Amino acid sequence: MALNLNGLQKLSSILEYEKRYAKNMRLSNTDIYAFKALAYLGTQDPNTWQHGDDIASATNVPKAYLVRLLAALAAQEIVSAKKGAGGGYALAKNAADIPLSHVLRAIDGPVAALSCASRNWHKQCPEEPRCHARSNIWIRVRDAILAVLEDTSVADLVEDAKIGVDYSHCLEHLLRPTDFGVGKR
Query: Which of 56 and 28 is assigned the larger pLDDT?
Result: 56
pLDDT (average), residues 150-154: 95
pLDDT (average), residues 42-47: 94
Cα 122 to chain centroid, rounded: 18
- Is residue 9, in this structure, part of any structural domain at all? no
Domain count for the chain: 1
Which pLDDT score, from 0 to 100, does residue 15 have?
46
- Is residue 74, in this structure, part of any structural domain at all? yes
- Is residue 43, in this structure, part of any structural domain at all? yes
- Is residue 61, in this structure, part of any structural domain at all? yes
The CATH number given to whatever domain includes residue 168 is 1.10.10.10
Most confident of 5-14, 85-94, 133-142: 85-94
CB 103 within 8 A of CB 154: yes
Which pLDDT score, from 0 to 100, does residue 33 have?
94
Q: Residue 149 — pLDDT band, cuts 50, 70, 90? A: very high
Q: Residue 114 — pLDDT band, cuts 50, 70, 90? A: confident
Ranges 12-21, 50-59, 136-145: which has the least confidence: 12-21
Which pLDDT score, from 0 to 100, does residue 121 have?
86
Full-model pTM: 0.80
- Is residue 137, in this structure, part of any structural domain at all? yes
Q: Could you tell me the residue range of the domain that residue 41 belongs to?
A: 23-174
How far apart CA 59 and CA 119 sit, in angstroms, is: 33
Which pLDDT score, from 0 to 100, does residue 21 have?
41
Q: Residue 181 — pLDDT band, cuts 50, 70, 90? A: low
- SS3 state of residue 18: helix
- Taking the alpha carbons of 164, 174, 119, 7 in that order, is the dihedral positive or negative? negative
- Is residue 155, in this structure, part of any structural domain at all? yes
**Residues 156-166: tens digit of each pLDDT:** 999 999 999 99
32: closest CA among 169, 161, 129? 169
- Is residue 185, in this structure, part of any structural domain at all? no
Three-state SS across 111-173? Answer: CCCCHHHCCCCCCCCCCHHHCHHHHHHHHHHHHHHHHHHHHCEHHHHHHHHHCCCCCHHHHCC
132: closest CA among 15, 3, 14? 3
**Residues 69-104: tens digit of each pLDDT:** 999 999 999 999 999 888 999 999 999 999 999 999
- Is residue 82, in this structure, part of any structural domain at all? yes
